Chains A and B, each alone.
Chain A
Amino acid sequence: MSEPVLTLEGIAKSFGANQILANVGFSIRPGEVIGLLGPNGCGKSTLLNLISGVFPADAGRVIFCREDITGLGMDRIARRGLVRTFQLPSMPRRMTVAELLYAASARKAGFRSLFRRETDEKAEIDGLLDDLALSHVRHLPAASLSGGQKKLLSIALVLRASPRMICLDEPTAGVHPNLRHHMIGLLQRIRASGITLLIIEHDMHFIRELCTRCVVMDRGAVIADCLPSQLTSNEQVVEAYLGNARQKRAMA
C-alpha cells in the first residue's frame, strides 16, 4: 500500500473557551478523493484552514508527503504542493481572468521573473479556459464573474499552482446545476491526472459521483470513515445530519 500523502494526527483547536476540533486524525492516500462531510459548525472549514496554514493548530501534527508542515504559513504549504480554494472566493477587481491565471503560477511570477525569459503558457491557459467554459470572460475583471464562474476560476487557479493535493471548500455551493455538472467532469479529470482531492461538500449526489471515501465529522470529531455508499446506512452519520436517532433515544 502506498504512503499517505496527508496524515492528520490528534489535531485540536479552540477559539477561546469554544473547542472546535478535538483529537482529529485520518490519512489520505495518493489519488484518493475524500469527501469531508458534517453538519454546519462541526469544524470542517476550521480543519481545512489548519491543514492549509491559515492558522495553526493548538495540538497535533499535519504530515504532507512525509514532511511535518504543522505551523507553516499558507504560502509555504502551497509551495509544497498542498493548495486550496475558498468557500466564498474573492477575486481581484483590477485584474482580468487571463492575468490572474498567469499570476497563479507563483513559481514563474516572483521577483526572479524580472531576470528570466518568460515561458509561453498561452496554450496551457487557453486550454484551461476552454475546459472551464471561461474563454469568453478571459478579458473581464475577475471580480465581475458570477459566483459559479468564480468557483470554476478558483479551481483553475489552484491547478496553475502545480498541486499535488487540492482542498476544495464547498465547490458547488451557490453554483447552477449546469455548472455543477461541468465541475464534476473537471474534478474527475483532475482525479484521473493523479492529484489527490479533499472536498468539503453537502451535495450527496456530488459526493457519490466523485469521492472514493468519506470522512464525516460532528462536533469537532471524526465520527465515520467509510465509502460513499455506506453513508446512509451509518447510524452515527444519519444521527449527525438528521438528529432522529438521538431524538428517539431521548423519547424512549
Chain B
Amino acid sequence: MSDFIVHVTIMSGLYALLALSLNLQAGFGGLMNFGQIGLFACGLYGAAIAFQFDLSAISGFAFAIVAAALLGWAFASVGRNLQADYWGIVTLALAEVIRIIATNEDWLTGGAQGIGGIRPFYFDLDSQTRQIAILFTVLALVLAAALLCRHLIGGRYGLSIKIMREEPQLAASLGYNTITLKRQLMAVSSVLAAISGFLFAHYISFAGPEQIDSSETFLIWAMIVVGGLGNNIGAIVGAFLLQFAFAFIPFVKDWIGLPTEYVAAGRLFLTGGGLIIFILWRQSGIVPERVGGGRYV
C-alpha cells in the first residue's frame, strides 16, 4: 500500500507542476490555453529522444526546456489578436498537431509504439529507495515551482499580468504591450510543463502519443478549476485531490461491486463532474484567488 501511495504522490506532484504552469497562464494571465499537453510533450519527448539517440539526460533536458519555451512563445504569437476563446481553440489544434507528429514520425518519436526503456533516475538504487528518492525530488521541485510562481506573481510583474487579464485595453492605454506580456508568460510557464514531462518520461520509462492526448489538458484544467484559478496553492491542492481521487476509484468500484470498465467511466465522471460542479457553484475553487492584502495595500 505504501508503494502505491508513494506512486500516487509522485504522479500528483508531476501533475501539480503542470497545474502550476497552467495556472500562471490561465489563472493569472487569463490565457485560455487548451494545448497545455503540447508543452508537456516537449519535456516527455525531450527525454525520450535524447535516450533514443544515446544523448545524455542533460542534453535531453536542455532540448526540452528550449523547445517548450519556443513553443510557448509560438502559442502566444499564433493568433495573437484573437479573442481568448478563439485563441484557446488554436492552442487545442496546435497540441493535436504535436500529437499527430509524435504518432507519425517513427524515426524520431517511435511512432504509435512510442519510445520505451528510458533510463529512470537514481538507476543505481534498489527500486524501493529509488521511489523514495524520486518522491523527494518531485516534491522539492513542486515547492521550488510554487516559490517561483509566487515570485513571478507577487511583485510588479504579477500586477502587469493581472491588468492584462482584467482590462487589456486599459493595460495598453497605460503603455503595456499585451502581446509581449503574453509571449513572456507563455515561455516562462511552458518551462514548468516541460520539466513535468521530462520527469514523467524518466519515471514511467516510456513516452508515447497516448500520453499527450488532448483529454489530458482538460484533466489539468479540472485540477486548477477545482483547486482555485489564480491561486498557486489551489493548483497544487487540485492536482493532489484529483490524482488521489482517481487512484482510489478502483477501490470504490470493488467496494460497491461494479464491473472493471466502470473505473475509466468514474475517472471521466470525476473530471467532467468536478469541472461542471465548480464552474456552476464555486467558480473560485477550493482555495480562491486572493484580491489585495499583499505588499501593495
A residues engaging B (CB < 8 A)?
52, 73-76, 78-79, 83-86, 89-96, 98-100, 102-104, 106-111, 113-114, 118, 138-141, 157-158, 160-161
Contact = CB atoms under 8 A, between A and B. Distances in A.
A91 B163 CA distance: 9
Interface stretch (B67-75, B99-107, B177-185, B191-199): B177-185
| Across the A-B interface, the 9 shortest Cβ-Cβ residue pairs | A92-B166, A103-B159, A106-B175, A96-B292, A78-B175, A109-B156, A113-B156, A109-B160, A79-B175
B174 interface: yes
17 contacts: A74-B173, A75-B175, A75-B177, A78-B173, A90-B167, A91-B170, A95-B162, A95-B292, A99-B297, A103-B163, A106-B175, A110-B157, A110-B181, A111-B181, A111-B184, A113-B155, A113-B156
Given A75-B173, A103-B156, 14 more contacts: A75-B172, A75-B178, A76-B177, A78-B173, A92-B166, A95-B292, A103-B160, A103-B162, A106-B174, A110-B156, A111-B180, A114-B152, A141-B292, A157-B170
A100 B156 contact: no
B228 to A, nearest CB: 12
B291 A96 contact: yes
B289 interface: yes
B197 to A, nearest CB: 24
Interface centre among A114, A140, A161 (most CB of B within 10 A): A114
Contacts of B294: 99
Given A110-B176, A158-B174, A95 B157 contact: no
Contact of A95 (B151, B159, B176, B178): B159
A89 B294 CA distance: 25
Contacts of A111: 157, 180-181, 184
B155 to A, nearest CB: 6
Range, interface on chain B = 20 to 34
A141 B166 CA distance: 12
A192 to B, nearest CB: 23
B172 A74 contact: yes
A83 B159 CA distance: 19
B296 interface: yes
Interface of B: 151-152, 155-157, 159-160, 162-163, 166-167, 169-178, 180-181, 184, 230, 289, 291-294, 296-297
Contacts of A118: 155-156
B163 A52 contact: no
Contacts of A89: 170
A106 B176 contact: yes
Given A90-B167, A91-B167, A93-B166, A84 B173 contact: yes
Contacts of A110: 156-157, 160, 176, 181
Contacts of B169: 74, 86, 90
Contacts of A104: 174
A161 B162 contact: no
Nearest to A161: B174
A79 B157 CA distance: 17
Contact of B292 (A74, A109, A139, A158): A139
A94 B230 contact: yes
A154 to B, nearest CB: 8
Nearest to A101: B296
A90 B177 CA distance: 19
B157 A98 contact: no
B157 to A, nearest CB: 5
B173 to A, nearest CB: 6
Which residue among A98, A99, A108, A139 has the maximum number of chain B CB atoms within 10 Å of its CB?
A: A99
A93 B167 CA distance: 9
Contacts of A114: 151-152, 155, 157
A109 B157 contact: yes
